[in-house]
Amino acid sequence: MILAFPGNESLAARLGGPVHPVQVHRFPDGESLVRIDADVKGASVDVVCTLDHPDPKLFPLVVLLRTLRELGAARIRLVAPYLCYMRQDRRFHPGEGVSAPVLASMLGPLVDGLVTVDPHLHRIPSLDALWPRPVVVHAAPALAAWVAEHVRDPLFIGPDEESAQWVEAVAHLAGAPSTVLRKERRGDRDVAVSVPELERWPGRTPVLVDDIASTARTLAAAAAHLRRLGTPPPACVVVHGLFAEGAAEALIDAGVGLVASTNTVIAPTSVIDIAPLLARALAPPREGV
Ligand code: R5P
């Protein structure tokens, strides 16, 4: 049984099972009431709730997960195509909270498993230490297929070292070269990246690949460099297109071409469908396989 948290109905409907909506009623004072109409007793339940803009979702999600257990669900899996807070994986400045393990310690005990797409694993090497039975779906095949259809002779470029794992996987699947830049982040919307050495790959169209675009300043800084070096407008392909306020303008100002993201987060750019890869990860293993 699939339960769709509000806003996740369209993705949930494509995952291959009966889908029931979760109702979250907002009271005028900002509190919320969570309700499910399905009979979950004895059921294996997948709760689909992507966690972009997470803070207003998290309390209703906790209530939902606890309610499912109280109503007798036999197994509960959280399907969070975008797993939030993974970038705050250490105390970068004195006194800061380390959010990634806090999130896991809040939700992990309420579920029997987690399914997510390309979590931002960097200083935390794997989800195993944090979450019960985590399953990671990789979007690289979907990104590579989109690029193959839309960009001729791509050169894949990662805007920072953290993007290496994604850009190399996509480039490998696309059978095209890749390179990774260095980034210095001076503030939320102030980013500098190293200048790419493009002489090795003449005539190719740059495709910037990252796991997340939030303010899009990382992609914009890389794209602006590329444009100054005289490349064609670079395409940008990301797994999770969070696109905070001002992101689209930053990309346009930087002179990017096509921008595409997956539908782990719904945005005007989310033209790459992750549902088939996600559905495969959710399907129970067939006997003899
Ligand atoms: C961090 O390393 C991530 O992979 C992204 O590069 C980063 O979150 C992008 O942030 P922004 O779009 O705000 O530059």
Counting ligand 1 atoms within 8 A of each CB, the residue from 212, 215, 256 with the most, and so the one to mutate, is 212
pTM of the model: 0.94
Nearest CA to ligand 1 atom 8: 212
Nearest CA to ligand 1 atom 2: 162
Model confidence at 237, pLDDT cuts 50, 70, 90, reads very high
Q: Of all atoms in ligand 1, which is nearest to the CA of residue 159?
A: 6
Tell me what the mean pLDDT of segment 243-259 comes to. Answer: 95
Which is higher by pLDDT, 123 or 196?
A: 123
> Do the bridges between strand 32-36 and strand 19-26 make them parallel or antiparallel, or are there none, so unpaired?
antiparallel
Straight-line distance from the first to the last Cα atom of the chain, in angstroms, rounded to the nearest whole number? 22
- What is the 3-state composition of the chain as percent helix, strand, coil, each rounded to the nearest 5? 30, 25, 45
Model confidence at 287, pLDDT cuts 50, 70, 90, reads low
CB-based contact 108:76 (threshold 8 Å): no
Nearest CA to ligand 1 atom 3: 212
- Output the average pLDDT for the chain: 94
Residue 183 is a catalytic residue? yes
Of 77, 183, 217, 225, the active-site residue reads 183
Convert the pLDDT of each residue in 116-150 to its tens digit.
999 999 899 999 999 999 999 999 999 999 999 99
Model confidence at 286, pLDDT cuts 50, 70, 90, reads low
Reply yes or no on whether the pLDDT at 175 is more than 80: yes
Query: In the structure, which protein residues have their CB atom closer than 6 angstroms to any atom of ligand 1?
Result: 87, 120, 160, 162-163, 191, 210-218
The rounded Å distance from CA 148 to ligand 1 centre is 24
CB-based contact 261:270 (threshold 8 Å): yes
The rounded Å distance from CA 26 to ligand 1 centre is 31
Residue 14, both tokens: 């494509």
- 198 C-beta neighbours (distance < 10 Å), count: 17
Tell me what the mean pLDDT of segment 244-250 comes to. Answer: 94
Model confidence at 199, pLDDT cuts 50, 70, 90, reads confident
